[in-house]
Amino acid sequence: MARILVALDGSDGSRAAVETVKRLSGTGSEMVLFTVLPVPMEVPEGHTAAMPWRWPGTPESFGSSVTVAETRAQAMDRLREEAEVRLDSLADEFRQAGFKVTCEVAFGSPVEEILIAAGRLAVDAVAVSTHGHTGLRATLLGSVASELIRSRRVPVIVAPIG
C-alpha cells in the first residue's frame, strides 16, 4: 500500500493531483492531503492586513483579513481551522471511495514544508499539479513542482492541469 502526500495549493487545478493519485494508486492506498498557508504578518494596532489566499468555490477570501484584535497566533489558529474544514470535506469524498485519507496544514514555504512533511510521514511520493509553464515564465514564477523534483529527496508525481 502506497502512502502519497498530495500537495494542494488552493487553486482549482490542484485537485488534478488528487484525481491522478486516486486513479494511479487504487483503493486501500493512503493519501495525505496537505496544504501550506502563508504565515500571517503581525498587524500594528489600528490596521488590517489582507491575506493572499482563496480556496476555490468560496466567494470570500480564505482568511481574508487579520483584525487588530487578532494576534498572529490567533490568526494562524483560525486559518488552520478554515483549511482543515475544507480539506476534511475533500477527504470525505475519497474515504467513501475506499481510500485512507488524513489531512495536514502547515505554514511557511510550500517546498520546505512539503519536504519536511514527506520525510516526517515517510511517504512513498509527493503529488502536485502544474500548469506546465516552461522557459522564462516558469523561471520568473518559480514552480513548486520543479523545486520538489530538483530536491531529489522524494519521488514526485506531477499531474498536469487541463
The CATH number of residue 91's host domain is: 3.40.50.620
Q: Is residue 134 part of a domain?
A: yes
For β-strands 49-50 and 65-66, DSSP reports them as: antiparallel
Q: Name the residue among 105, 100, 112 with its Cα closest to residue 82.
A: 105
Q: Is residue 45 part of a domain?
A: no
With beta carbons less than 8 A apart as the criterion, state whether 17 and 128 touch. yes
Question: Can you give the pLDDT at residue 63?
Answer: 45
Domain range holding 99? 3-38+71-160
Q: Is residue 57 part of a domain?
A: no
Q: Name the residue among 113, 100, 121, 102 with its Cα closest to residue 144.
A: 113
- pLDDT tens-place string over residues 14-29: 877 888 888 888 777 8
Number of domains forming the structure of the chain: 1
Q: Is residue 62 part of a domain?
A: no
Q: Name the residue among 124, 153, 127, 141 with its Cα closest to residue 7.
A: 127
Select the highest-mean-pLDDT range: 7-21, 76-90, 141-155. 76-90
Q: Is residue 10 part of a domain?
A: yes
- pLDDT tens-place string over residues 98-126: 889 999 999 999 999 999 999 999 999 99
pTM: 0.78
Q: Is residue 143 part of a domain?
A: yes
Q: Is residue 61 part of a domain?
A: no
